[in-house]
Chains A and B, each alone.
Chain A
Amino acid sequence: MRSIRFFLIASILAVITLCNFVAALQGYRASLEEAEQLFDRQLYQTVELITNLHTGHFESRLPHQGDLAYQVWHNDKLVALSSASLTTPITDFSPGFGHANFDGYRWRTLVHYDNTHDNWVIAAERTDLRYMLAESVITQAVLPILLGIPLAGLLIWLIVSRGLKPLRDLSGQLKNKQANDLTPVEIPELKSELAQVYHSINALMRRLGTALDREKRFTADAAHELRTPISALKVQLHNLREELPAENQAFAELEAGVERMQHLVEQLLSLYRSTPEEFSRNFTHLNLYQLAQDVIATQHDDFEKKQQVLELEGEECLVEGDPFALATLLQNLLSNANKYTPEGGSVRVTAEPVGNHVCLKVEDSGPGIAPTDYGKVFERFQRLNRKREVAATQGCGLGLTIVRHIADLHHARASIAPSSFDSGAAFIILFKKAEENEHR
């Protein structure tokens, strides 16, 4: 993920560096040219001084300097010279600035003809020393620009961080919001650039809150309104059974239809209760093995009816969770196993610690599920075309979706594998183990 802050800091710093350094280079070149002209003017003054000093034919009165050489020629005779200079002309007798090489260096030369005394004055300065002197002065001016870049970087970082603070605050508030917290976002100092985002988010929160409230009311009303007539229907069915012969086909189908409707309503309510938005996190430490025992006890009759062997294996294992939700999870898994296991088949429930986890496994000896369908099993209203002998089994396709939701709420992982029986499926829920000392 790309960071706006990093982008701003890096690109602003790059632009500043580029502009400053190119400007510094331009300044450096211009300053070098200026220094060159300054040195030339200085050389010219030196030549003027030598010209004025050498009005007669006498020796040099100038003190010797290593970076300066001069000669005074009169009628092709060398009449004055610095000790560093040659005894032959340093350069041609053509007035003006030029360059010459001697003494192992390159020199800047100036030739001047003094027509009053018929003297040729030649002065020369070492170019490397002139260049080094100029560069040393100019580098002093350029260096602070270079050293200023880290400081500029630090300041840019602080300013950009300060500038992005409202965005960071907004992002932090959204991140820290609970799943069911739909209260408006509060920004103490609203910036104009964020006003639209802020208003849009709060409007969305309001709309979402209203929609959820409506859904909540609808579900509560529907639960109430549907349960009552279904109960009444069941009473009427019970009465009707007394009046009709036992093998009446239409009555049997009607009874199955009402059972299915009641099951569907109960499952819809369970699903609603277990969605993350509405789930109340009353997590406690509980023994999953004990819970499995309790749930098996309540559902044992269903297995008896189909003469199925129901086993419970494992040992005491602690998880952190909501007892009601976990009981619903187990009921759904057991109900699923009961439905899809043929008469006389086997179902095994295992609850045991595995490393840092607790594994809850419900295996059946039914026809099983093709591995290609594993991904679809937990989807809503998904009823796989399993080659069950129990094709007539009633279900609404929500049971395993509820299992997955409850597992997610407990940060557990739900998966499917082949069962350890000759055929069948194993539903495995892997919980994080609760610390025993916390429990005590």
Chain B
Amino acid sequence: MLLNSVVLILQEILEAALLVSVLMAFTRVINLRVYWLAGGIGLGCIGSLILSLNMVTISEWFDYVGQEVVNASLQFAITLVLALLTLLYSLKTPATLKWLPFCMTLAVACSLTREGSEIFIYIEGVLSQPPHIRPTLTGSGIGAGIGISVGVLLYYGLLGLPQHWIIYSCLLLLAIIAGNMSAQAAVLLIQADWLSSSIVLWNSSNWLPENSIPGHLLYALIGYEATPSLLQGLAYGAGILSVLMAWSLGRICNKATP
């Protein structure tokens, strides 16, 4: 139970910590206040509570695939918000820059709503089995500790880079996060039979199984899958491209403006 809890909680916390760290470093480098983070965390906690408390009802939606559809929607929303954030930043006008904190609050709130609801549901389920409470809570504590520590070190690691590299590193990481979110959303929609699974792109189960600890970590960090489908690969690429294209589009518009 302890190891299962570590893996599950670490995976969820790491995804959120990665997003928060990158956005905080981004905030620092563009000289914004980090007040948006409190709003994002607050909204995320409320959202995750609402989602987890109503999960039974939600899972009955859309012919009993409501949970998958809602989670996929949240992940797509994160991808879109990250692309919008990049576009607004790259336009660099006072009117667009003032919307950045709102976008960051929304991205963190969506991420925490999804990750937090899964943690709530897991912990709630375990609490009904007294023998498993101690190992589960210990494992959850360890998983959360590792996830938050990686987030803190990533944040300071990013801030330790030369000034002009920070922004590019943040944008690259945001693109990877957007790709990861998009791919995970595609997997959920395949599970819900809303999308049909297609050709498997590769099989790396022998080299790096998904259920190994490095596999779980890579899943949380870059969305690693041992047997990704073509659709999943396309979604991953689309997520990354959405952020990179938003950046390019913003820069083009910015240069075109006299």
Q: Closest chain B residue to A24 by CB distance?
A: B142
CB contact between B135 and one of A14, A17, A139 (< 8 Å): that residue: A139
Complex CA distance for A135 and B2, rounded to whole angstroms? 8
Residues 122 to 141 of chain B near chain A (Cβ within 8 Å): 131, 134-135, 138, 141
Is there a chain A Cβ closer than 8 Å to B152's Cβ? yes
Known contacts A29-B3, A135-B2, A139-B2; decide if A22 and B146 are in contact (CB<8 Å).
yes
Q: Is the CB of B138 within 8 A of A15?
A: no
Is there a chain A Cβ closer than 8 Å to B156's Cβ? yes
Closest CB in chain A relative to B214 CB, distance in Å: 12
Closest CB in chain A relative to B77 CB, distance in Å: 29
Is there a chain A Cβ closer than 8 Å to B149's Cβ? yes
CB contact between A15 and one of B6, B131, B153 (< 8 Å): that residue: B153
Q: Is the CB of A139 within 8 A of B134?
A: yes
Residues 122 to 144 of chain A near chain B (Cβ within 8 Å): 132, 135-136, 138-139, 142-143
Is there a chain A Cβ closer than 8 Å to B121's Cβ? no
Is there a chain B Cβ closer than 8 Å to A25's Cβ? yes
Q: Closest chain B residue to A26 by CB distance?
A: B213
Complex CA distance for A7 and B2, rounded to whole angstroms? 31
Complex CA distance for A252 and B46, rounded to whole angstroms? 84
Q: Which residues of A contact B213 (CB under 8 A)?
A: 25
Complex CA distance for A15 and B159, rounded to whole angstroms? 16
Chain A interface size, under 10 / 10 to 19 / 20 to 34 / 35 or more: 20 to 34
Is there a chain A Cβ closer than 8 Å to B238's Cβ? no
Q: Is the CB of A11 within 8 A of B153?
A: yes
Q: Is the CB of A146 within 8 A of B138?
A: yes
Complex CA distance for A2 and B29, rounded to whole angstroms? 12
Closest CB in chain B relative to A119 CB, distance in Å: 36
Known contacts A24-B142, A25-B142, A142-B138; decide if A17 and B149 are in contact (CB<8 Å).
yes
Complex CA distance for A7 and B160, rounded to whole angstroms? 11
**A320-340 interface code vs B (CB 8 A; 1 in, 0 out):** 000000000000000000000
Is there a chain A Cβ closer than 8 Å to B97's Cβ? no
Q: Which residues of B contact A149 (CB under 8 A)?
A: 145
Q: Is the CB of B6 within 8 A of A18?
A: no
Is there a chain A Cβ closer than 8 Å to B150's Cβ? yes
Residues 1 to 48 of chain A near chain B (Cβ within 8 Å): 2, 7, 10-11, 13-15, 17-18, 21-22, 24-25, 28-29
Q: Is the CB of A28 within 8 A of B146?
A: no
Is there a chain A Cβ closer than 8 Å to B173's Cβ? no
Q: What would 28 A/B residue contacts be, using CB atoms closer than 8 Å?
A: A7-B156, A10-B152, A11-B152, A11-B153, A14-B150, A14-B152, A15-B149, A15-B153, A17-B145, A17-B148, A17-B149, A18-B146, A18-B149, A18-B150, A21-B142, A21-B145, A25-B142, A28-B2, A28-B3, A132-B131, A136-B134, A139-B135, A142-B138, A142-B142, A143-B138, A146-B142, A146-B145, A149-B145
Binding site for A on B (CB under 8 A): 1-3, 6, 28, 131, 134-135, 138, 141-142, 145-146, 148-150, 152-153, 156, 159, 213
Ranked nearest first, the 10 interchain pairs of A and B with the lowest CB-CB distance are: A14-B149, A14-B152, A18-B149, A17-B149, A17-B145, A146-B141, A21-B142, A139-B135, A21-B146, A21-B145
